[in-house]
Every structure is written in structure tokens, then in C-alpha cells.
Amino acid sequence: MELDSFDLAILRILQEDNRTTSDALGEAVGLSPTACQRRVKRLRAEGVIDKDCAVIAPERVGGRITLIVSIVLERGRADIIDSFKRQVQEVPEIQQCFYVTGEYDFLLVITAQDMAEYEALTRRVFYGNGHIQKFNTMVVMDRVKTGLTIPL
């Protein structure tokens, strides 16, 4: 899909606030509200806009902790990698999962109410998976910057 300057401008705005009205989009990018609505609908239909969601401040919902976990799996078996990818999809506490190159196979961003909840998750997800050779946990002390914005 070819993106023109209007599409990119609309995407920049929606990345900052996906509740921006068509009227406000139109005024900001120089198109009619109807044209903006059509473009946003097309961007969603084509999968350019992958998901609309609310970003929740953890401190406002009970002060959840964030953990970054590196995973090393048994080597050389695509079925183990595919199985792990499917498994993490089913764990709501795993916010993000990246299949990476280098020393680790996966990096996970996990949220938990506290360390007791995280320990229970490790027992259920990590220790319960015989294909995980090791995992390393880092506790996030401060959210300096969070987001999924892509520079356009």
C-alpha cells in the first residue's frame, strides 16, 4: 500500500491521540473530514493501523510492576520456537514479546501486581515449559519513556 503525505500526517496525529476527530484531522492535514474518515477506514482495513487501544497508567490501577525477561530456548528446533510464540499469546501478563537475535531467543515485557504474582507466573509459564533453558529477569525501576509511536 502506497502512503502519501496526507496518510502519513494522519498517522502521526493518530499515534499521539487515536480519538482525534475527523474534523480535527481534516483541519490539521488540509482535507475534508469525510476524506479523513475514508483514509482512516482504509488504513485500518489495509492493516496499516494495527490496533486501537488505551494506554493505562499503571500507578492509577494499583501500581503494577513491569519486568523485562530474557528467554533462552533449546536450540535448533523451529517447533519449540513456534510453540513458545503461541504460548505467550495466551498469557495476559505478557504485554510484549520479541523474537530476537543474539544471546537470547525472546525478550518479554511483563506486568504483575507484585513479585508474588510474578513468581506464580514464572512457575506456570517458565518452569512449566521444559524447553526453556534459562530466563533472566530485570525489574523496571522507572518508566522513563513508553510508547509504540513509529517516526513517520
Q: What is the pLDDT of residues 53-105, one digit of tens each?
A: 888 888 888 889 999 999 999 987 899 999 999 999 999 999 999 999 999 99
Strand partners, 69: 108, 137
The answer to whether residues 11 and 152 touch, using CB atoms and an 8 Å cutoff, is yes
CATH 1.10.10.10, the chain: domain bounds: 5-45
What are 135's three cell numbers? 530466563
Parts of the chain belonging to CATH 3.30.70.920:
58-139
Backbone angles phi, psi at 83, to 5 degrees: -65, -40
The 10 Å Cβ neighbour count of residue 132 is 19
Q: Identify the bridge partners of residue 96 per DSSP, sorted by sequence position.
A: 109
How is residue 47 written as a grid cell?
A: 492493516
The dihedral through the CA atoms of 110, 115, 120, 124 has a sign that is: positive
The pTM of this model reads 0.85
Q: Which CATH architecture has domain 5-45?
A: Orthogonal Bundle (1.10)
Fold classification of 58-139 (topology level): Alpha-Beta Plaits (3.30.70)
